[in-house]
Amino acid sequence: MDEVVGHLDMRALAAQLLVVGSPLADPVDPTLAAVRRLGVGGVILTGRSAAGVRVVADRSAALQGSVPNGRPGLLVSVDQEGGQVQTLSGPGFGTIPSAVVQGGWAADRLTGAAERWGSQLRAAGINVDLAPVSDVLSPRLGARNLSVGISDRTFGTAPDDVASGVVAFVDGLDRARVAATVKHFPGLGQVAPNTDTSRDVRDTVTTSDSMSLEPFRRAIAAGVPAVMVSSAIYARIDGAAPAAFSRAVITDLLRDRLGFTGLVVSDDLGRAVAVAGVAVNQRSVRFVAAGGDVVLTVDPRAAAPMIDGLSRRAAGDPAFAATVVAAARRVLAVKQRLGLLRC
């Protein structure tokens, strides 16, 4: 690990924190240039593809092949939850039911199914699944919850039931050697608007002691490698900033109180309306300063200014530079477990 870090300057370390969108509908992937020129740490396949495992595997291989010599391989991620949120289908990919359906299965059945779905992802060159959704849906909101309720993305409305589904899903992906990502910490189950399309999404219910955190606690205890943080504001934890920019949420609650030592991943910071009021080059800075590691942007054009923001802040702030290095080490540790270190 020290040897890898020693080969990378500060800008290259900052670039390792970026995961950028790779649109499946575009036959000429614009993300290839970002990988070659910027040395970003990963990609997220966006949109939908029904082309099957072999075609996606070719795309993943092309992305990995564009990594500059001597740099670590890419985290190749996708939203493969099931139901309405299944990015990849076609030959070689099974049909994944919604989380509502999955939540009715016994734990061993769900673990076995998730291992099978994870193996299909692995065959397609995917090493990170941005799943499962770990939010506990408010029965009061139901389908009026536009983030996870309307599309049946959550395992249920009871914390213990959701936690059981989350742990079973995470276990299955781990058996397939795919890194799971529980989301959207500290939960989107208590809000109606969607942070992708709405500003100032505010949760006035969730606290640092809420039972709705139980799925995240259980996933952390089970060794989940990554947690995605939401872009909503949690008034009873930190009413001054979205969770993705909140030290109270990421460092004080997730890291210190819940004891999570793995990768903290942002929800989309490229196009999401919830963060539109913050300059693009400062979104990455604020997220990492709050304790985050992986800056996710579905818009590949945001990658360069986000890397610029990180490297410029690090150049003038030794404490922030140390924070970037620590975040990069956590990224590289996951890459090492996934067999992606090349130097």
Query: How many other CB atoms sit within 10 Å of the CB of residue 97?
Result: 16
3 pLDDT band, cuts 50/70/90, is confident
Name 202's bridge partners. 233
As given in the structure block, the two tokens for residue 51 are 């082309």
Topology of domain 2-337, CATH: TIM Barrel (3.20.20)
> Percent of the chain at pLDDT above 70?
99
Could you tell me if 131 and 80 are in contact, meaning their C-beta atoms sit under 8 angstroms apart?
yes
Could you tell me if 211 and 218 are in contact, meaning their C-beta atoms sit under 8 angstroms apart?
no
- Average pLDDT of span 295-305: 96
27 pLDDT band, cuts 50/70/90, is low
d(CA 149, CA 72): 38
Contacts of 262 (CB under 8 A, 6+ apart): 224, 225, 226, 227, 330, 334
The mean predicted confidence, pLDDT, of the chain is 96
Give tens-digit pLDDT for 89-128. 999 999 999 999 999 999 999 999 999 999 999 999 999 9
Q: Which pLDDT does position 44 carry in this prediction?
A: 97
Give tens-digit pLDDT for 216-240. 999 999 999 999 999 999 999 999 9
Give tens-digit pLDDT for 36-51. 999 999 999 999 999 9
- Average pLDDT of span 242-254: 99
How is the beta sheet containing 42-46 ordered, strand by strand? 263-266, 226-229, 179-185, 128-129, 75-78, 42-46, 18-23, 295-297
Could you tell me if 178 and 153 are in contact, meaning their C-beta atoms sit under 8 angstroms apart?
no
Backbone angles phi, psi at 224, to 5 degrees: -55, 135
Q: How far is CA 278 from the centre of its chain?
A: 20
The domain ranges of the chain are 2-337
Mapped onto helix, strand or coil, the DSSP state of residue 64 is: helix
- Average pLDDT of span 152-180: 98
Mapped onto helix, strand or coil, the DSSP state of residue 101 is: helix
